[in-house]
Amino acid sequence: MAYPRSLPEEFKIVDATAGCVTTNGGVASDWVSLKHAHKAWVVLQFTQAVGHATQVALQQAQDVGGTGAKALARNAKAWANEDTGASDALVRQADGVSYTVAGDVKKKQVVFEVDPALLDMAGGFDCLGFTVANSAQASNLVAGQFFLLGRYQQAAPPSAVVD
């Protein structure tokens, strides 16, 4: 008997980047509202064609337009796989608001787990995003997605890209 779980029925999946984009010049993700989220995961896939220690930094904002964007003040859980070609194991990293991948030529995966309570809710910050530092390498790529676990499961959950 199959366990009754369905990723698209339990999680809102939202693109954070416009597909796979170059990290040359840096990347600013789209924003998602965590008003209706119990928890959020930021999942990034890196293709490092040229070695570069590229940093990802979590950001918070007051709306999905990015108003008042600033770094998260409290640490989120983080995992990384620095060589997805060799293994599928995600390794737990130190909690933080950023992570820097190793400066080597490999495919990588980075995952942050963000509880909305980590955001400055009292200051009106309820939206999540991230930045990826400038690698100065046009052939280094990143793709990112948000996975949002809704507070209330429903057939048509509220939009996370509208305030």
Per-residue pLDDT tens digits for 83-139: 999 999 999 999 999 999 999 999 999 999 999 999 999 999 999 999 999 999 999
Tokens of 145: 């997605």
pLDDT of residue 84: 98
Question: pTM higher than 0.75 for the full model?
Answer: yes
If you write DSSP's letter for every residue of 113-136 in order, what string do you get?
A: EE-GGGS-GGGT--EEEEEE---S
In a domain, 109, yes or no: yes
In a domain, 141, yes or no: yes
| Residues 58/71, Cβ–Cβ less than 8 Å | yes
Looking up residue 105, the CATH number of its domain turns out to be 2.60.120
In a domain, 161, yes or no: no
53 forms bridges with which residues in the sheet? none
11 forms bridges with which residues in the sheet? 149
In a domain, 2, yes or no: no
pLDDT higher than threshold 90 for residue 156: no
Rounded Cα distance, 132 and 97, in Å: 12
Q: pLDDT band at 160, cuts 50/70/90?
A: confident
Count the helix, strand and coil residues of the chain and give each as a percent rounded to the nearest 5.
5, 45, 50
